[in-house]
A and B are shown apart, each in its own frame.
Chain A
Amino acid sequence: MSAEFESPAITPIQRDVPFVFTGEAGEYFRIWIVNVVLSLLTLGVYSAWAKKRTRQYFYRHTQVDGTGFEYLADPIQILKGRVVLVLLLGCLVALQAFDPVLYLVGVALFMVASPALLVAALRFNARQSAWRNVRFRFDAPISVAYQLYAKMVGLTLVTCGFAVPYTQWMWADFIASNHRFGDQPFSWRTQPGEIVTLYIYMVPMMMAVYALFFVGILCIATLGQLLPTILGTKANDPATMDQIVSMASIIGLPLFYAALTVPSAFFKARMANLFFGGMSVGPHTVRSEQRFAELLRVYLGNLVALVLSLGLAWPWAKVRLTAYRLSRLTLVAHGPLVVDAGEGADHVNALGDAAMDLGELDLDLGF
């Protein structure tokens, strides 16, 4: 019978409240494997409960000021959303098989619906997330999402894609500043220039990796030309050539992939710092201090473990990544962490949520 919360009277004006992650790879592995088996045995029906348990596991183990977050979604509601979405996607697949023209129409409709689905998913997600029995909210009207979408698409087309850093800022701003925790609105301080700068660093890194890749291919090709002469085999023997190409691909492709995680880790670490670090919740601010080299080590370790374990290390990788990210996240409390729940019930449906789960709508902000 202990009270882990602090009395407002002794709370200093400003204090650091770290995010603490207490999840363990072994514990999550057992939950994950049971989820997988039950989902398979029930032909996917259990996947809604599996989702709830997975989310709840990571939420409960993420603690701020001694209290974990809570994921409140009703699995039945998740299931309903999934059923509708699976039916819709099933129709799309059937159309693809029977009528490619109508299929394209279907895909176009899906794209037109995607801002609405995204907003629905964000609302659902926020509404089902709580801390100390106060829920989060996502308040943006769907019309605003459509206006934003139109602007983003227009800008991208007009600038031939060069506006991507700016449209990404617009989207992140839309998400970050439309959330609420209880009656406390979120706000976002990150400036477009900061994301542009991030891209200015990231793009050359990316290009360097690709350049290395092509230099590698050239070397292999030259070697392939020279090798038969060196080995004294028949020149241009297709079998030898194929062996060389295969061997080079087997070694080269994973290396290339591993090399690509370098700019990716840089981008994701910085992006997370900009996204979370720019956030305020009412008077409180957030600090995110992910480091490129540290995140890269986590990524590469995870990659190696996943490959060597044929995917079974997935729970370990997920826990490790989450633990790292949260270890670098701090809430800077300006005053007591007491928030009123506030008013307002909004329509939430699990359909948008299900769409994100099936990977049809990608909401990857890079964190």
Chain B
Amino acid sequence: MVWFDGQRSEGVAATLALDANHYLTLRDENGQLLDPEAVCPARLHIAPPLGDTARTFHFGGSGRGESRDLQALAALEHALGRGWKGRALARLESAWPIALTLGALVMLGGLAGLRWGVPWAAEQVAIAMPDDLAHKVGAGTLRVLDTTVLKPSRLQTARKDELRAGFLTLAAPYDALPLTLHFRRGVGPNAFALPDGTVLLTDELVALATDDRQLFAVLAHEIGHVHHRHGVRMALEGAALSVLVAVVLGDATELGNVAAGMPAALAQAQFSQAHEIQADDFALETLVHAGISPRHFAVIMRRLQASAGGPDRSPVTTGTDPEKTSADGALRYLASHPPTEARVARFATWPEPQ
């Protein structure tokens, strides 16, 4: 082993020995003591083993020893009755069967955690959140949207009142939710919900609809987002995802970003799609309850898809939920919304009341 005194980057060959009385001595080749402090084993600190790399040790002073004789160091630690944590860790890190098992577990556990664990935990937290806290999420988002992309609606007051009345009828069973309907324009035919109960409807969507009940169908879906607290859950899921990526890749370099980017985008999209399906379930139930045929939802969604002229042309705004139509195809796993046709199938085939 070599001893570096910490004053100069120059080592001297040295020997560390433990005598029968449990005293340590650190001597150079000529038998001179190198560090008079290096006597009491309690002061000896040995860096834990790491692969087959050389280990360093010190006695709390500026000097440091370095040795490749891993067996001798392990024997010394053993004689002093310590270092078991480091040795256990090193054993864990040196066995291929353990590493491969852990690799498989991480892979499966990671997938299961992403698929079920993260959404489940986010839902529990969102549900446990006090009402007024949950409804404060995204407060002020409308203000930001108004100053950036949204323009005031050009609808007549009478028309707005008409739609608002229908919205209130739909919302009646959920009087615990602070639901309000707002009209805006400027982002194409769309509707979205903010966690504080603000539901936005664009003039363009109103113009696209051929029947007001189509609009109510979309609004029912938006109320579903508020009811299930999707805004909060999306934020929580996103945060959990970035923590997971950081833990797995640690100090991610440019390679890490590539490796992490795709699965993260994929997971985020899957979370979002799950929310859409849940909001659709809610819409279906609400529409049936309000006596509106769910078929109207299918009609407006198909019209939206046709007007968008392709997948994913709606603007994306974080923290809100702009509705999107989405084509089926190989890219569907990366879309925030499930394929429109698959979504509307159960609405379109709903039996008409006789």
Given contacts A53-B50, A70-B56, contact A34 B9 (CB under 8 A): no
Given contacts A33-B103, A44-B243, A243-B329, contact A51 B251 (CB under 8 A): yes
- The answer to whether B71 has its CB under 8 Å from any CB of chain A is no
Looking at chain B's contact residues, is the secondary structure mostly helix, strand, loop, or mixed? mixed
Q: Within residues 75 to 102 of chain B, which ones have a CB less than 8 A from any CB in chain A? A: 89, 92-96, 98-99, 102
- The answer to whether B263 has its CB under 8 Å from any CB of chain A is yes
Looking at chain A's contact residues, is the secondary structure mostly helix, strand, loop, or mixed? helix
Query: Which listed residue (A53, A67, A311, A358) contacts B259, Cβ 8 A?
Result: A311
- The answer to whether A101 has its CB under 8 Å from any CB of chain B is yes
Taking residues whose C-beta sits less than 8 angstroms from the other chain, chain B's interface range is 35 or more
- The answer to whether B316 has its CB under 8 Å from any CB of chain A is no
Q: A101 and B143: CB pair below 8 A?
A: yes
- The answer to whether B54 has its CB under 8 Å from any CB of chain A is yes
Q: A314 and B256: CB pair below 8 A?
A: yes
- Residues on B with C-beta less than 8 A from A317 are 255
Given contacts A27-B52, A34-B89, A57-B51, contact A5 B327 (CB under 8 A): no
- The answer to whether A1 has its CB under 8 Å from any CB of chain B is yes
Instruction: Give complex CA distance A4, B5 in Å.
Output: 16
Q: B106 and A134: CB pair below 8 A?
A: no
- What does the 1/0 interface line of A1-25 toward B look like (CB < 8 Å)? 1111100000000000000000110
Instruction: Give complex CA distance A36, B92 in Å.
Output: 13
Taking residues whose C-beta sits less than 8 angstroms from the other chain, chain A's interface range is 35 or more
Q: B319 and A314: CB pair below 8 A?
A: no
Q: A34 and B6: CB pair below 8 A?
A: no
Instruction: Give complex CA distance A60, B66 in Å.
Output: 11
Question: Which of B10-18, B36-44, B151-159 is the contact stretch?
Answer: B10-18
- What does the 1/0 interface line of B245-268 toward A look like (CB < 8 Å)? 011111111111011000100000
Q: A357 and B93: CB pair below 8 A?
A: no
30 contacts between A and B (CB under 8 A): A3-B2, A5-B10, A5-B11, A27-B52, A30-B95, A34-B92, A34-B98, A34-B99, A34-B102, A37-B105, A40-B106, A54-B251, A57-B51, A67-B11, A68-B53, A93-B239, A97-B138, A100-B138, A101-B144, A132-B4, A134-B8, A246-B327, A246-B329, A249-B330, A250-B331, A268-B254, A306-B259, A314-B256, A317-B255, A359-B246
- The answer to whether B182 has its CB under 8 Å from any CB of chain A is no
- What does the 1/0 interface line of A82-125 toward B look like (CB < 8 Å)? 00000000000100111111000000000000000000000000
Given contacts A5-B10, A30-B93, A338-B8, contact A60 B329 (CB under 8 A): no
Given contact pairs A241-B310, A242-B328, a sample of 8 additional A-B residue pairs in the complex whose CB atoms are under 8 Å apart: A1-B13, A40-B106, A44-B243, A54-B251, A134-B8, A245-B310, A311-B248, A338-B10
Q: B99 and A306: CB pair below 8 A?
A: no
Tell me how far the C-beta of B225 lies from the nearest C-beta in chain A, rounded to whole angstroms. 15
Given contacts A5-B10, A70-B56, A242-B329, contact A36 B50 (CB under 8 A): no
Closest A residue to B238 using CB positions: A93
Instruction: Give complex CA distance A113, B12 in Å.
Output: 45
Q: B105 and A306: CB pair below 8 A?
A: no
Q: Please list the residues of chain A having a beta carbon within 8 angstroms of any beta carbon in chain B.
A: 1-5, 23-24, 26-31, 33-37, 39-40, 44, 47, 50-51, 53-57, 60-61, 67-68, 70, 93, 96-101, 131-134, 182, 238-239, 241-243, 245-247, 249-250, 257, 264, 268, 302-303, 306, 310-312, 314, 317-318, 321, 337-341, 357-359, 364
- Residues on B with C-beta less than 8 A from A310 are 107
What are the 6 A-B residue pairs with the smallest beta carbon separation, nearest first?
A246-B329, A133-B4, A60-B53, A132-B9, A246-B330, A242-B327
Instruction: Give complex CA distance A61, B52 in Å.
Output: 9
Given contacts A67-B66, A321-B255, contact A35 B250 (CB under 8 A): yes
Q: A101 and B140: CB pair below 8 A?
A: yes
- Residues on B with C-beta less than 8 A from A133 are 4-6, 9, 62-64
Instruction: Give complex CA distance A318, B63 in Å.
Output: 32
- Residues on A with C-beta less than 8 A from B11 are 3-5, 67, 132
